[in-house]
């Protein structure tokens, strides 16, 4: 295993012995990107091809991962500042099951992960939240904004880049 170390993360590659490297972990087959980036115990794929939130969720699950769940300020800083984030990108937050009850996705189960937000202004105890001003609103799927790194609620049927993660 080799990689480039910079600002606490590395691009994960494996020497194939045939004069080339291949990504470690499972990049979703439908993900257009430049390879996985490892931070902590997870590998992240910054998928630049625009798809709906549901398609992104399903693509991640099919590759053995999930839409990213952002657990703390350090992971947020990595995703925004020291990454390949070049466009607003879907993340795993959604309130598709119950308006105002925001959960992280688990596989293809929209509310299978922990609840991180309730109502219009309450970050759940022990959870990390980084909403843009006036968000979340009545839209149901979360993205990370490429300009500010804040989260924004958007229409799940819009298309956007997406971030897949795999532990």
SS (H, E, C) the chain: CECCEECCEEECEEECCCCCEEECCCCCCCCCCCCCEEECCEEEEEEEEEECHHHHHHHHHHCCCEECCCCCHHHHHHHHHCCCCCCCEEEEEECCCCCCEEEECECCECCCCCEEEECCCEECCCCCCCECCCCCCCCCEEEECCCCCCEEEECCCCCEEEEEEEC
Q: Which of 35, 53, 55 is nearest to 45 (CA)?
A: 35
pLDDT value at position 36?
86
Residue 42 has which token pair? 């997870």
Q: pLDDT of the chain along its 167 residues, tens only? A: 333 333 333 333 333 333 333 333 457 778 877 678 899 999 999 998 999 999 999 999 998 999 999 999 999 999 988 666 788 999 999 999 999 999 999 988 999 999 999 987 889 999 999 999 889 999 999 999 999 999 999 999 999 999 999 98
CA atoms within 13 A on the CB side of 21: 14
């Amino acid at each position: 295993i080799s990689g480039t170390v910079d600002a606490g993360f590395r691009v994960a590659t494996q020497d194939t012995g045939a004069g080339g490297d291949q990504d470690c972990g499972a990049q979703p087959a439908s993900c257009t990107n430049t390879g996985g980036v490892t931070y902590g115990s997870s590998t992240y794929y910054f998928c630049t091809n625009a798809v709906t939130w549901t398609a992104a969720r399903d693509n991640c699950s099919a590759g053995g991962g999930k839409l990213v769940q952002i657990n703390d300020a350090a992971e947020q800083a990595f995703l925004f500042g020291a990454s390949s984030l070049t466009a607003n990108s879907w993340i795993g937050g959604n309130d598709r099951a119950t308006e105002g009850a925001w959960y992280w996705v688990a596989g293809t189960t929209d509310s299978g992960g922990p609840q991180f937000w309730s109502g219009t202004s309450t970050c759940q105890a022990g959870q990390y939240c980084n909403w843009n001003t006036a968000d979340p609103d009545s839209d149901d799927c979360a993205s990370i904004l490429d300009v500010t790194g804040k989260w924004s609620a958007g229409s799940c049927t819009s298309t956007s880049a997406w971030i897949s993660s795999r532990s």
